[in-house]
Chain A
Amino acid sequence: MHKYVLKRLILMVPIILGVIFIVFTITSLTPGDPGRMMLGMTASQEAVDKLNEELGFNDPYVVRFAKYLGNIVRGDFGKSYKNNQPVFDEIFARFPTTLKLALASITVTILIGIPLGVLAAVRQYSKLDMISTVSALFIAAVPSFWLALVCILAFSLHLGWFPPNGIGSIAHYVMPTFTLSVVYAASILRMTRTTMLESIRQDYVRTARGKGATPAQVIWRHALKNALLPVVTSMGMSFGGLLGGAVVIEQVFGMPGLGTLLINAIKMKDIPQVMAITIFLATLFCTIMLLVDILYAFIDPRIKARYTS
């Protein structure tokens, strides 16, 4: 098992390097003038040129990339153009909000998607199946920010049940979590239904039934366990989408998370901040996928067996 985890960890390194390379390459295309961004419009041209030279913005691309990478290894992602503070200060201040939103959303996604998917498969062509499949299809087409607007309109402005923006209490998280998770819940539902439909027709399910297991045992222990593998991967992928989706949803509900930080940084052309947030979220996503792969090995005895011998 250790060997497997180690192998996956090592495989993560080139991916993260690749992410840094891509983000760096994209941002080095900026036509903007970093010295000008920092000193403002009133500074003299000489001062701007001097700062650009000092900070190495006139170096060739490869040299700059090597320097950036070197700094990252030492934990230095640069300073924000806006307030001249290390970019990660702000990221750590904002991250808890985004993390809470993402964790709540993935939990709701799983709690809605998997049980409904299983029930839809077990009672194929029943009313429950029809309703959940059709609504899943419909919800998959709804953009989350529009759903958020409709929720604000209905539940905040008209019914007054939930606050339309801010993060003061749990009530503040209800609508953002709902709007963010419902789309992914729909896709998990569809996926669980498909894999369950395959799984309940397998021989081992017939065997389980034959040896006298109760229907509930057969479905939740024997069939679901085998149907879950692709769903787990899909959940990992959803988490990446959730992190991206949170950027927009935070904006709609005025939550001071990483998403709002990123959008403000983009609007102010605060490039080091944009780079750091993007690399941070991508690394987080890679780590989640790594955890998913390890989880996979625990669920799937075939992978475990290959590495324990």
Chain B
Amino acid sequence: MTSKTANWEFSEELFEEYKKKSQIAEVWRRLKKSKTAMLGLFVLTTIILLALFADLIRNYQSMAIEQNIMNRLQSPNSTHWFGTDAQGRDLFARVIHGARISLLLGFSCTAISVFVGLILGSVAGYFGGKIDGVIMRILDSIMSIPAILLSLAIVAVLGQSIPNLIIAMTVAYVPGFARIVRASVLTVIGNEYIEAAKASGLGTFRIISKYVLPNAFGPIIVEITMSVASVIKAVAGLSFIGLGIIPPTPEWGAMLSESREFMRYNPYLVLYPGLAIVLTSLSLNLLGDGLRDALDPRLKD
């Protein structure tokens, strides 16, 4: 008897796994059809690879940090592909090492926001009532402070550092995710299979994580791509006004701020870091748009 039960459970798991795989394969198949999404994915992958192998391509300490006044303000040439800045540092080295910081911040802030948003959103949606009311009112209040103002206030209070920047960004981005999760929870909460799961004595945590949250998967994936792009732009903006990443750390916004006074005769100084921001966020937006279409069951062919 026991062996039979074990056997049955085993096959159910296999089935679940098969189903999950086929779903992902299906989304991938549909995503592949969108040329713009594939272009976005290609550009994004290139940027991620450049960021990952930045140390092998250009040495961080000697090329991106150390000043070399002899080489200052060289226009782009064969040794310095993007030219050099006012301190004689290689702009290409700084741009690819900057990709590292921007992507790291973009993905980590988004990951934490998703995690907190999942908890808050599912608790609010699942329990409803007063808990829902309190959580949603607080989130509404956070959302009525323009995101950049909120981040500025937090950075102002906690001081300028990368962990504080992550906190500042996360607080601003949690409400969006929590709302998406809550909405998805509310759409499934009345269904019979939730009732059945409750009746069969499953714990609340298990019900939420196994039966409720998978429904929020699609919209969250789309929001993640958009949010990474938006965090990268916001961090660049904060650094640009001198309240984000502090120079000489190579961050795109900080680089733009440093090169402002030299841009008249060296326009490449503002061109390349800016294009880096544009390309990164454009590729994420293209991918997000493609994913939205691929995940939308109404557009199924």
Contacts and interface: CB of A to CB of B under 8 A. Distances in A.
Given A143-B233, A263-B243, A289-B144, A271 B138 contact: no
B282 A18 contact: no
A173 interface: no
Contact of A23 (B138, B145, B279, B289): B145
Nearest to A266: B156
B277 A22 contact: no
Given A15-B144, A141-B285, A22 B264 contact: no
A244 B148 contact: yes
A285 B138 CA distance: 16
Interface string B172-205: 0000000000000000000000000000000000
Nearest to B139: A18
B1 to A, nearest CB: 57
Contact of B282 (A138, A263, A281): A138
Mostly helix, strand, loop or mixed at chain B's interface? helix
A31 B159 CA distance: 9
B146 A150 contact: no
Nearest to B280: A141
Contacts of B256: 145-146, 149
A95 to B, nearest CB: 15
A224 interface: no
Contacts of A266: 152-153, 155-156, 243
Given A145-B256, A266-B156, A274-B156, A21 B263 contact: no
B286 A137 contact: yes
Contact of B141 (A21, A31, A152): A21
**Is the interface on chain B under 10, 10 to 19, 20 to 34, or 35 or more residues?**
35 or more
Interface in A282-296: 282, 285-286, 289
Contact of B142 (A22, A137, A240, A245): A22
Contacts of B147: 241, 244
Given A31-B159, A153-B267, A278 B145 contact: yes
B237 A145 contact: yes
Nearest to A282: B145
A18 to B, nearest CB: 3
B146 A26 contact: no
User: What size tier do the contact residues of chain A reach?
Assistant: 35 or more
B274 A150 contact: yes
A8 interface: no
Nearest to B281: A141
Nearest to B154: A26
Nearest to B279: A141
Contacts of A241: 146-147
A152 B263 CA distance: 10
Contacts of A209: none
Contacts of B24: none
B295 interface: no
Interface in B244-263: 253, 256, 260, 263
A247 interface: yes
B156 A22 contact: no
18 contacts: A15-B141, A15-B144, A18-B141, A19-B141, A19-B145, A140-B285, A143-B253, A145-B241, A146-B236, A149-B274, A150-B274, A240-B144, A243-B149, A244-B146, A245-B148, A262-B149, A266-B153, A281-B149
Interface of A: 14-15, 17-19, 21-23, 26-27, 29-31, 137-138, 140-143, 145-146, 149-150, 152-153, 157, 240-241, 243-245, 247-248, 251, 262-263, 265-267, 269, 271, 274-275, 277-278, 281-282, 285-286, 289
* 7 closest cross-chain pairs (CB), A and B: A18-B141, A244-B146, A141-B282, A244-B148, A266-B156, A146-B274, A141-B281
Interface of B: 137-138, 140-142, 144-150, 152-159, 229, 233, 236-237, 240-243, 253, 256, 260, 263-264, 267, 270, 274, 277-279, 281-282, 285-286, 289
